[in-house]
Amino acid sequence: MPAEPAKILRRALGLVPAGPHYFFHRHALIVRIAHWINAGCLAFLLMSGLQIFNAHPALYWGKSSDFDHPVLSLTAEYTDAGYVGVTQIGPWHFDTTGVLGASDVDGVRMARGFPEWATLPGPQWLAMGRLWHFAFAWLFVLNGLLFWAYAIAGGHLSRDLLPTKTDLAHLPREIANHLRLKFPKGENAKHYNVLQKLAYFLVIFVLGALIVLTGLTMSPTMDSALPGLLWVFGGRQSARTIHFICAFSFLGFFIVHIVMVILSGTWNNLRSMITGSYAIEGGKDG
Amino acid sequence: MAENRRGFLARASAGAAALMLSGCTSLSERKWVADLLSEVEVLTRHAQRLFAGPQTLAPEFSKRDIAPVFRANGTLNPGTADYNAHAANGFRDWRIEVGGLVERPLSLSMAELRAMPSRTQITRHDCVEGWSCIGEWTGTPLKLVLAAARPKADARYVMFYCADNMSQEGDAAQFYYESLDLLEAIHPQTLLAYELNGQALPIEHGAPVRLRAERQLGYKMAKYISRIEVVGDFAEINGGRGGYWEDQGYNWYGGI
């Protein structure tokens, strides 16, 4: 039977469960498109953002830069052994040679905030980093606004993303389940659990808004148009610091997201975000 | 088996990421990519001006916000024989030529510039690198100088030519220059500044006169200005992109 090897392969890859199962349409087309555009944007924005950060690898709090008291800095100290990378966070100093503060570019140890493999473009090139960053910032914002409009007007937000009272009551149990790597199965896998709802809601509607607004606050023309932004974020340098924290919160979310996708069925999850189709274990009547 | 699969996947994705990275770096070196990405600047400029309009003011601060040490960037001293002679003389013979598409070309001495009505503003200087410093600037609104020179109908941009040579020793001289469009040039906070924090402008900040364009990034604010030219477009001037750093790939629109 020619169908058999294909079936075995699909099972081995985890595309379909071994037991009884059926397929469920999990993600609307617009959600899938927005998801992948967003994923691409975040990669470009993070790496070009680190390139821009490297032009002055220090963060401050307040209206302007108090150069002697950065909140965080990635600096290089020149010693007999070459550059030593020092990461300073508040009163603490760490030797981060090779990664932060000082790292190799074409085999030569250089003073640079983030290493070459983390920045776009790789070499120090602020003008180009800004070009990439602003181009993808526009795409990120337009894609985000379209998704927001769809989620709010189309009911995706209230139906799937906003946690209900019952959801919140189940929060402790859900945390315990996640810690034991026990994920919802059958009918329960058809909707997001409360931790997913909270994570997606916060990332899409809070973190997304924050990173765009703090980005705009760094623009001197936007500050003349909307000076309230400065008041909200406590000044341009605070906004820059919050922008940086948001960027790494996105990275943190991404890492947890990827781990969860892998632990709860890599290929099934991946397929559902590409074709929309998600395999549910058990019979249709649960 | 599962371990191998994961190991393979990790290696494959790391490889793909590395490929994407080096791909993007080499893409950055292609002119059409930079040109395409630069198109976004037009969108940004139009969108920002939709919000900001011609007259919105950059935030002004109080005396206690002034940085104890205002960081200087770019050229710290033009150091040419000519400039050194002017500096030794307290810039008494420094002149700012105003020409191009104007009905009445001017040649202003520092005394004449100082005799014009002035504006003092405590504003935040934002470097393209990311840092900010707050200082108190005094100078002549550029609008008044332009009004005195009477720009012609086809005037679009104001060019600023400076006394600092940016090239390495031995190379052909390339003096710093910058440009603003008329909208930004006649903004009430756009000054030909000759004082910082109540003192004559220090050499590292562009003595005797520098531009302040408070809704723009620092590189737009040319220092050591010796000539102002009103033009219709700047495609034929130097690298053709409207400024020294613009010719090196930086955006002409410096509002973000």
Q: What local confidence, expressed as pLDDT, does residue B21 receive?
A: 67
The interface predicted TM-score (ipTM) is 0.91
Domain extent at residue A34: 3-57+124-281
Mean pLDDT, range A28-44, rounded to an integer: 97
Rounded distance between C-alpha atoms, residue B154 and residue B147, angstroms: 15
Q: What local confidence, expressed as pLDDT, does residue A17 receive?
A: 78
For residues B134 and B61, is the Cβ–Cβ distance under 8 A? yes
Residues A66 and A187 in one domain: no
Name the pTM for this structure. Answer: 0.93
**Bridge partners (DSSP) listed for residue B191:** B141, B212
- Tell whether A240 is covered by a domain: yes
Distance from CA of A218 to the nearest CA of B (A): 7
Q: Which of A92, A113, A134 is the last residue of a domain?
A: A113
- Tell whether A119 is covered by a domain: no
Which of A67, A127, A138 comes nearest B43 by C-beta?
Answer: A138
β-pairing, B199-200 with B191-196?
antiparallel
CB pairs below 8 Å between A and B: how many?
135
End-to-end CA distance of chain B: 51
pLDDT tens-digit profile of A141-155?
999 999 999 999 999
| 3 state SS of A71 | coil
Chain B contact present for A127, CB below 8 A: yes
Rounded distance between C-alpha atoms, residue B229 and residue B220, angstroms: 15
Locus of tokens 């770096």: B25
- Tell whether A19 is covered by a domain: yes
Q: DSSP assignment, residue A49?
A: H
Position A18 pLDDT exceeds 90: no
CATH number at residue A275: 1.20.950.20
Mean pLDDT, range A117-131, rounded to an integer: 95
Which of A44, A121, A221 comes nearest B25 by C-beta?
Answer: A121
| 3 state SS of B234 | coil
Chain A contact present for B25, CB below 8 A: yes
Rounded distance between C-alpha atoms, residue A215 and residue A45, angstroms: 11
Residues A79 and A212 in one domain: no
A254: enclosing H helix or E strand: helix A236-263
Distance from CA of B28 to the nearest CA of A (A): 7
Residues A20 and A66 in one domain: no
Mutation target for B interface from A9, A50, A60, A64: give the one with most B CBs within 10 A.
A64
Residue A7: band (very low, low, confident or very high) from pLDDT cuts 50, 70, 90: confident
pLDDT tens-digit profile of B82-134?
999 999 999 999 999 999 999 999 999 999 999 999 999 999 999 999 999 99
pLDDT tens-digit profile of A202-240?
999 999 999 999 999 999 999 999 999 999 999 999 999
Position A31 pLDDT exceeds 50: yes
Average pLDDT, whole number, for chain A?
Answer: 93
CA-closest candidate to residue B131, choices A53, A77, A102 = A53
Q: What local confidence, expressed as pLDDT, does residue B176 receive?
A: 98
Average pLDDT, whole number, for chain B?
Answer: 93
Position B6 pLDDT exceeds 70: no
Q: What local confidence, expressed as pLDDT, does residue B18 receive?
A: 65
Chain B residue numbers with beta carbons less than 8 Å from the beta carbon of A135 are 37, 40
Residues A168 and A207 in one domain: yes
Residues A194 and A253 in one domain: yes
Q: Walk across the sheet containing B157-165 and list its strands.
A: B106-109, B95-100, B225-231, B157-165, B175-181
Q: Which amino acid is at A21?
A: H
Mean pLDDT, range B193-216, rounded to an integer: 98
Q: Which residue of B has its CA nearest to A133?
A: B37
CB contact (8 A) between residue B126 and residue A125? no
